[in-house]
Amino acid sequence: MKIGFGCDHAAIDLKNEMVAYVKEKGYECIDYGTNYDENGEIIKCDYPAKGEEVGRAVASGEIDYGVLMCGTGIGISVSANKVPGVIAAVCSEPYSARLTRQHNNANIIAFGARVVGTELAKMILDEFLSADFEGGRHQRRVDMISDIERRNSKK
């Protein structure tokens, strides 16, 4: 399974910790940045740009799941959700992370570096990556989400 990570300048340290954690678990990881430059300076990045970049990578099948981080997780997830095919959910605890896979078939999880600590972020990510979509009655609702996207996209 290929996991892509993206963040704005507010979440570089948490993102790097999550990449290392998930790599250690044996997943293939792609780091879309942002990062520090060679002088240790933050490479600034606006969250909409990173949300779109990782959203497109998920939608195209380049990666299986995306993990996005900004200060709150809100701006970057809202941006990713504008890419057709993306279902991105901000989660601040593990229960929602599990349910957003099982019920919403989310393909991106987001969290806020100013909201969750490293250990909680690891637990959230563990739940997200180990849960499967349950289909059944949830498929019909996820199809309704896709239908909203279709009906409201510009021709």
Q: How far is the CB of 72 from ligand RB5 (least distance, A)?
A: 4
Count residues binding ligand RB5 (CB under 6 A): 8
Active site residue 103: yes
The pair of three-digit structure tokens given for residue 25, joined into one six-digit string: 């678990």
d(CA 117, CA 28) in angstroms, rounded, equals 23
> 77, 104 in Cβ contact below 8 A?
no
Q: How far is the CB of 128 from ligand RB5 (least distance, A)?
A: 19
Q: How far is the CB of 124 from ligand RB5 (least distance, A)?
A: 17
36-75 mask for ligand RB5 (x: CB under 6 A)? -----------x----------------------xxx-xx
Q: Which is nearer to ligand RB5, 71 or 94 (CB)?
A: 71
d(CA 119, CA 48) in angstroms, rounded, equals 26
Among 3, 10, 87, 88, binds ligand RB5 (CB under 6 A): 10
Rounded alpha-carbon distances, angstroms, from residue 33 to 7, 13, 29, 104, 147: 6, 11, 12, 26, 32
> 59, 83 in Cβ contact below 8 A?
yes
Q: Which is nearer to ligand RB5, 4 or 75 (CB)?
A: 75
Q: Which is nearer to ligand RB5, 45 or 99 (CB)?
A: 45
The pairing of strands 65-70 and 2-7 is: parallel
Q: Which residue spans within the chain are E strands per DSSP?
A: 2-7, 28-31, 65-70, 88-90, 108-112
Query: What residues act catalytically?
Result: 70, 103
Q: Interface residues with ligand RB5 (CB under 6 A)?
A: 8, 10, 47, 70-72, 74-75
